[in-house]
Structure 1
């Protein structure tokens, strides 16, 4: 990992080795500009600096995005970091706000009239949790460009065929006819688990649909994350995963 360097006019220069940065700081030729990512600012102007081309590589993810700055000529990694997103936190905050807003409407108090039913979303609208990821990545691109002479940006764009990962022989209309084709979710789960509790195997008792990975811990409503359990097993499992 290198140390970012800018001159007295805040022009980004070639990142240097940490030992070189310590020498500049010790001799009083530079000062600490930023703690993270650690950067120093020179106390003099550099007009004819030798700059090597650097490329910023981005590996976006739903929860974590990888960032790396690489030397285009040598392939050396200058900087690497993981950017954690706040998507789930934003969603929980919006859910809490919605619950409070709807609670006000049910009481005999002054409230704001519901306006969701006469508003149209603009073209290209994305949920706030997704926009948060975009803004986070854009913010860090701007920050790194202020500290480092980046000449190019590479973004990894990958498309996954999740159905082919489960069934490699899928083709044609089978993509439209998923696991639940001809079933309701509850009835499908009963058929799948033989109308028994998936945990204790109890039969002929009321069964409940429950999440293998709880929604509070990032689980989804996909049928692959659903199972059936008796009331006792469901309560005993609580907020844990099936493995726990």
Structure 2
């Protein structure tokens, strides 16, 4: 895809290819600024022109897809980077379900050797209701 690039004063430049980023790092012209998303910072460049970029968003129930695209004069767009944003709501729901399962297990743990109660529900022979 593409590697994000910053200039000497940490201002954004246009993203470059992975190959160019490797060459810049190997020649000592750039340093790693951030590991995720992978961003390099140039040591010798101060400013530069940037092209217009567009961020495409595809919202979903559990994740949201993000696409960073370069928008040239023609209709065709060039995708620079793709991201996937995982919503936290599903994590919260999963944590609450797990907490409920832990509680359920704790509450039922002490009932293993309790005497069965289904046999003591029968009425003795000759029993009549109190109203009769």
Q: How does the TM-score come out when normalised to structure 2?
A: 0.65
Corresponding residue for residue 11 of structure 2: 11
The 5 Å alignment of 1:6-155 reads 6-47=6-47, 49-73=48-72, 74-94=76-96, 96=99
Structure holding more strand per residue: 2
Q: Aligned partners of 2:21, 2:94: CA distance in 1, in Å? A: 43
Q: Aligned partners of 2:61, 2:28: CA distance in 1, in Å? A: 43
Q: Aligned partners of 1:79, 1:92: CA distance in 2, in Å? A: 30
How many residue pairs end up in the alignment?
Answer: 98
Q: Aligned partners of 1:93, 1:18: CA distance in 2, in Å? A: 38
Mark the structure with the bigger radius of gyration: 2
Deviations along 1:33-70, one digit per CA (max 9) or x if unpaired, are 122221101113423x1211011111111111101000
Q: How does the TM-score come out when normalised to structure 1?
A: 0.37
Q: Aligned partners of 2:91, 2:21: CA distance in 1, in Å? A: 38
Deviations along 1:167-214, one digit per CA (max 9) or x if unpaired, are xxxxxxxxxxxxxxxxxxxxxxxxxxxxxxxxxxxxxxxxxxxxxxxx
Flag structure 2 segments of 5+ consecutive residues without an equivalent: 104-132
Corresponding residue for residue 178 of structure 1: none
Q: Structure 1: which 4+ aligned runs deviate by more than 4 Å?
A: none
Structure holding more helix per residue: 1
Flag structure 1 segments of 5+ consecutive residues without an equivalent: 101-244
CA RMSD of aligned residues (A): 2.1
Deviation at 1:93, TM superposition (A): 3.3
Q: Aligned partners of 1:75, 1:11: CA distance in 2, in Å? A: 24
Deviation at 1:94, TM superposition (A): 4.5
Q: Aligned partners of 1:51, 1:22: CA distance in 2, in Å? A: 21
